[in-house]
Chain A
Amino acid sequence: AQSVTQLDSQVPVFEEAPVELRCNYSSSVSVYLFWYVQYPNQGLQLLLKYLSGSTLVKGINGFEAEFNKSQTSFHLRKPSVHISDTAEYFCAVSDGSNDYKLSFGAGTTVTVRA
């Protein structure tokens, strides 16, 4: 089974500053990678996904992520955050051979301050 490590549990950031959330996963021949966002008291919403092809993936709300196979990483970035980006972010991985089973990281809480 895949394991997922989100390297930062809390990331405070000022409004309009850039943010990077780090995610590493255990190696596999083929993986599908996801980032989800959870706003307070809500369910999870898909931000973006990597299935194959270009290693730079663009998602909703100005987020993007870069897949690095050699470093088994899938870091999430946004060049300029807003107060409304305050949320918890989860990295998730599914093994290509068992793609219905998602493994989640522990989450990173992003707090955007004015």
Chain B
Amino acid sequence: NAGVTQTPKFQVLKTGQSMTLQCAQDMNHEYMSWYRQDPGMGLRLIHYSVGAGITDQGEVPNGYNVSRSTTEDFPLRLLSAAPSQTSVYFCASSYSAGQYGYTFGSGTRLTVV
């Protein structure tokens, strides 16, 4: 089983560029989330989805967009990259987060210069 697959693993962007971080899961999970990880701050929720066609904001949504057209895919779009978005991004999915917890991808390390 592939689990949660994130691409790319590494990316360097220039300020102002846009890009999409890809996330796909093959476990038929309804719940999917994007987190960013910064030193000393743990993981902070960017956006989440409770099913295809349903998304909502987390605690740090500014500068990011998401969509959920299928159960499997949950891409994260950076509209105009800023140095403050330099971080490690994790996608996660769950059948029911409260019961089983989330399964995490291996992360995308993004540097904005």
Binding site for B on A (CB under 8 A): 1, 4, 6, 9, 32, 34, 36, 42-46, 49, 51, 90, 92, 94, 96, 99-107
Contacts and interface: CB of A to CB of B under 8 A. Distances in A.
A45 B107 CA distance: 12
Given A100-B31, A100-B94, A102-B45, A51 B58 contact: no
A104 B104 CA distance: 14
Interface of B: 4, 31, 33, 35, 40-45, 48, 50, 58-59, 90, 92, 94, 96-107
A1 B101 CA distance: 17
A102 B97 CA distance: 8
B90 A43 contact: yes
Nearest to A6: B42
A4 B41 CA distance: 11
Contact of B45 (A44, A90, A101, A105): A101
A11 B102 CA distance: 25
B101 A43 contact: no
Contacts of B104: 36, 43-45
